[in-house]
Structure 1
Amino acid sequence: MRRLRFSLGALALATTGLLIAAPAFAHTEKDAGPYKLLFGWRDEPAYTGSQNAVQLFVHDASGKAIDDLGKKGLTVVVSTGSGATAKSSSPLALTSAFDPDSGLGTHGEFDSPLLPTAAGTYTFHITGDINGTAVDVSAASSDTTFADVTDPTAIEFPVQSQTVPQLSSAITTLQGRVASAQSAAASARDSAKSSKTMAIIAIIVAIVLGLIAILTGRGRKTA
């Protein structure tokens, strides 16, 4: 019996140790009146070029999941970058992931699909209304909230593909070269047209001078 108790105790300690060692759920929690909002990326790590979503869980003060947000509901604006490179999305609807007809999905979960195309820090700004309670909360990705978006190069195998920014840069460079080639071709065409025009003018002048010479010669003979 003592051995059994010891084994159960050791198992409990080991389980506790695993729970403590496990990484924290990468979401951040904010309060909005009587409601608690837990939000972050649906899939982490979050990689550029990979389908993801802003994921939100809504519970009341007692911990009960809220599936019905009311008529207005919630939206999220996603932003990244700073200064001249700052970008913000239009308001994206957060829709329920739970299907009451089939019973599939998670109670209290609301998602907004998103495919991040640039690595870096992202901010989620959630606004709207939950059954008459105004909501206006935001958080930026960090070590204590949810993950930054990173390039997937480190996990690509066997061939590492170019990232979205790299492809964009390559396309921009190619477009510049095409524009330069088109400009050079246009200049060459204009130059060719000018040369052709000058040649025609020279021929006309030569003909006119020839006619003048002929007429002048005839006039002298007549005299």
Structure 2
Amino acid sequence: MFSTANVALAHVDIDVGDGRYVMEVGFRDEPAYLGQPNAIYLNVAEYATGGTEPVEGLAATLIAEVSRDGQSRELALVPLGEGEYEAAFVPTASGDYTFRISGEIGEATVDESVTSGPATFNSVEPLSAIEFPLTRPDPALLQAETVNAQAAAATARTLGIAGIVVGVLGLLAGGAALLRSGQSQPIGVTPASASPATPTSPAAEPSRKLIR
């Protein structure tokens, strides 16, 4: 059970196993920066007379997990030294992260979660905090802008195609109307614009006078 938590060098100490052990948890590299390789840092020690003793061999009995914004991922712990372990990952978003350590330390069962913050360990900072002389945009913002641009382009294409379809349908409708107009003209009726036919004059009869 979680009993005490004290800040130490931007890490947090958690007593577990009824106060028999203490876990030190935080980022391996602090301050932690966006997009830079880092790791969950874990140091486990057992309280003893006159101080603490490092606890080794826990890479096989403990599991590390990192989570942010509802997403989580289990990470393998790798021994670093006496009682020290790390679980490597690259933080791809700035802000707060939650680290969870679960499993067994000796005969004690542990399952502890801690979130970064002023009272625990450092949150992830954007690289702009240390870039000089130019700063690069936040990758998350760039990705969001790219997605928005792609969505706008897709909408424009859809509207353009719809306009073409409407235009073609309009032309087809106009052509059909012209065809119907031509077919509906009654047979034998002279269009109003046509000139009336000129009557044919009867043929002149031959003269019956005798010429002498």
Equivalent residue, structure 2, for 1:20: none
Equivalent residue, structure 2, for 1:18: none
Greater per-residue helix proportion: 1
Instruction: Check 1:152–1:70 CA distance in 2 against 1; reply closer, same or farther (3 A cut).
Output: closer
CA contact (8 A) 2:59 2:77 kept: no
CA contact (8 A) 1:70 1:132 kept: no
Structure 1 residue 184: Cα displacement? 1.4
Structure 1 residue 152: Cα displacement? 1.4
Gap regions ≥5 residues in structure 1: 1-23, 80-85, 99-105, 219-223
Q: Does residue 98 of structure 2 align to residue 109 of structure 1?
A: no
CA contact (8 A) 1:77 1:126 kept: no
Residue among 49, 64, 67 paired with 2:53:
64
Equivalent residue, structure 2, for 1:14: none
| 3-state SS of 2:153 partner | helix
Give CA deviations for 1:87-109 in whole Å, capped at 9, x if unaligned: 2313x1341234xxxxxxx2322
Equivalent residue, structure 2, for 1:73: 62
CA contact (8 A) 2:35 2:92 kept: yes
Residue among 35, 40, 52 paired with 1:54:
40
Number of aligned residue pairs? 178
* Structure 1 counterpart of 2:177, one-letter code: A
| 3-state SS of 1:147 partner | coil
* Structure 2 counterpart of 1:97, one-letter code: P
CA contact (8 A) 2:66 2:75 kept: no
Q: Distance in 1 between matches of 2:45 and 2:28?
A: 17
* Structure 2 counterpart of 1:183, one-letter code: T
Higher relative contact order (CA 8 A, sep 6+): 1
Q: Does residue 135 of structure 2 align to residue 160 of structure 1?
A: yes
Equivalent residue, structure 1, for 2:164: 189
Q: Does residue 103 of structure 2 align to residue 128 of structure 1?
A: yes
Q: Distance in 1 between matches of 2:189 and 2:59?
A: 105
| 3-state SS of 1:196 partner | helix
Equivalent residue, structure 1, for 2:207: none
Instruction: Check 1:94–1:36 CA distance in 2 against 1; reply closer, same or farther (3 A cut).
Output: farther
CA contact (8 A) 1:36 1:58 kept: yes
Q: Distance in 2 between matches of 1:51 and 1:70?
A: 20
Q: Distance in 2 between matches of 1:71 and 1:147?
A: 27
Identity %: 28
Name the TM-score, length of structure 2 as normaliser: 0.72
CA contact (8 A) 1:72 1:130 kept: yes
Name the TM-score, length of structure 1 as normaliser: 0.69
Q: Does residue 75 of structure 2 align to residue 93 of structure 1?
A: yes
Residue among 152, 156, 168 paired with 1:177:
152
Instruction: Check 1:142–1:126 CA distance in 2 against 1; reply closer, same or farther (3 A cut).
Output: same
Larger Rg: 2
CA contact (8 A) 1:70 1:131 kept: no
Structure 1 residue 40: Cα displacement? 0.1
Give CA deviations for 1:152-205 in whole Å, capped at 9, x if unaligned: 113112321110232133123213311321221122122122122213312421
- Root-mean-square deviation over aligned CA pairs: 2.4
